Amino acid sequence: MEAPEFQLKGIQKRETYQRMNYLCQASHLVFLFSPTLSRFYAETMKKTAKKLVLRMHPRVKKLICKSCNALLVPGVTSKTRIRGKREKHIVVTCLQCGKFRRQRKKHGPQKHKTLVDNSER
């Protein structure tokens, strides 16, 4: 007997999250030996999330360059500066492609929740 469609989708999403987790870990692991392979894993993770319309955790999302998919390791592949000209914010610049990302500097803990956080509680 086949499971209902909504159960299949739940299982499919859980497997995709597991795959994304694996790809993220693999990307970090091979980063020192092969930056190209690391970038490939990160790109695959992004594509996998996009295909099933899943959210990446904000912390994971901020680790990957939007333009070249390189891992943003502070001091190695990215530089991080605090700017306070208009509103205090953090600028993370990718040293591979030069693309930068502004992050608002927030006070207190951030309240982001992904689908996995919501479903487990």
Judged by CB under 5 A, how many residues of this single chain contact Zn ion? 8
Q: How far apart are CA 50 and CA 44, in angstroms?
A: 10
Instruction: State the amino acid at position 71 in one-letter form.
Output: L
**Residue 4 or residue 75: which is nearer to Zn ion going by CB?**
75
In 3-state terms, the chain is what percent helix, strand and coil (to 5)?
45, 15, 40
Stretch that binds Zn ion, among 16-24, 51-59, 86-94, 102-110 (CB under 5 A): 86-94
73 binds Zn ion (CB under 5 A): no
Question: Binding Zn ion by CB under 5 A: which of 13, 96, 100, 114?
Answer: 96
**Residue 57 or residue 79: which is nearer to Zn ion going by CB?**
79
Site residues for Zn ion per CB under 5 A: 65, 67-68, 70, 94, 96-97, 99
